[in-house]
Amino acid sequence: MNIILEEISKIGIVPVIKLEDATNAVPLAKALIEGGIPCAEVTFRTDAAEESIHRIAEGCPDMLVGAGTVLTIEQAERAINAGAKFIVSPGLNPKVVSYCLEKEIPITPGCATPSDIEQAMELGLDVVKFFPAEAAGGLPMIKAMSAPYATIKFMPTGGISLDNLNEYLSYKKVIACGGSWMVKPEMIAARDYAGIAKLAKEAVERMLGFEIAHVGINMENENVADQLSNSLSNLFGFQKKNGSSSIFVGDGLEIMKGKYLGKMGHIAICTNDIIRAVYHLERCGYQFDYDTVKQDVKGQFSAIYFADEFGGFAFHLMQKK
């Protein structure tokens, strides 16, 4: 997958923006960045689109800005010259796709049928836009179409909202979702950048879905750990599960058989997508200890500790099952 598309996959959400006034471009981009989404697809449906892309590319270098609703080679050329890092189109135009590939600019054309996908593959693409997502059958349609095409991934757009975002993102062949609910035209017209930042933050939080998984308590040795776990099991009726290095009491308490990370112990936070969570948290300045990375039985990234402690506890992220 192209490096730009890989970053989009880590971001997870692509706001689709229609700008009528280029003076809104930079403040809007900064609001999205503040809300945790350093990406935007500016639709080429208005006279302000080209200038808006140029202003975002110049004024917000941390923003991954692309052009959407690109229908012709001429539009693609203007968008790329303005600073667009990726191109999105509602349908598959072989001439536009070929032009972008020649310029080494990633393009995700709209595909809604197996024939579309086969044409995209013939052109050398491995990611396509599924559009209009909900009207074209939603996630069940993506799953049905992807079965014969193992190498193709999707970026659905059209009808995506906060309510169905995670339904799409839970499918591993979906790299990201495009949507406009956090950049509503009336909010842009009113210059409600604080409101846009809030909606963007809400979308990221919903996507990552952080929850407390368990609390680990450090004990001096196995005997002390066994005594404590017996006491807690008897007190609350929680079932014990003995492991090699710890004893789980119920689902939420892990009694360590010796001193482990964290002065007091550790707290596990589960997330819908650990790769996206690490990406977003590192953008916020948090650091991780990559020596603590764990993988599941399938070799997938499943857990990692933060580099720092919080309140005497080590914290680690873990992938929800």
What is the bridge-based pairing of β-strands 313-319 and 265-271? parallel
Structural domains in the chain plus CATH codes = 3-207 (3.20.20.70), 211-319 (3.10.180.10)
* Tens-digit pLDDT string for the chain (321 aa): 899 999 999 999 999 999 999 999 999 999 999 999 999 999 999 999 999 999 999 999 999 999 999 999 999 999 999 999 999 999 999 999 999 999 999 999 999 999 999 999 999 999 999 999 999 999 999 999 999 999 999 999 999 999 999 999 999 999 999 999 999 999 999 999 999 999 999 999 999 999 999 999 999 999 999 999 999 999 999 999 999 999 999 999 999 999 889 999 999 999 999 999 999 999 999 999 999 999 988 889 999 999 999 999 999 999 998
The amino acid sitting at 290 is: Y
Burial annotation 70-99 (CB, 10 A radius, 16+ → b, else e) = beeeebbebbbebbbbbbbbbebbeebbeb
SS (H, E, C) 100-144: HHHCCCCEEEEECCHHHHHHHHHCCCCEEEECCCCCCCHHHHHHH
Burial of 209 (0-12, 13-18, 19+ CB in 10 A): middle
pLDDT of 218 reads 96
Residue 292 CB partners (closer than 8 Å, separation 6+) = 261, 303, 304, 305, 316
C-alpha 43: how far from chain center: 21
Over its C-alpha atoms, the chain yields an Rg (Å, rounded) of: 23
* Closest-CA residue to 135 (of 110, 105, 158): 158
pLDDT at 4: 97
Specify the pTM.
0.94
Tell me the longest C-alpha to C-alpha distance in the chain: 74
The answer to whether the peptide bond before residue 148 is cis (omega within 30 degrees of 0) is no
Q: What is the pLDDT of residue 289?
A: 97
Cβ-based burial of 34 (10 A; exposed 0-12, middle 13-18, buried ≥19): middle
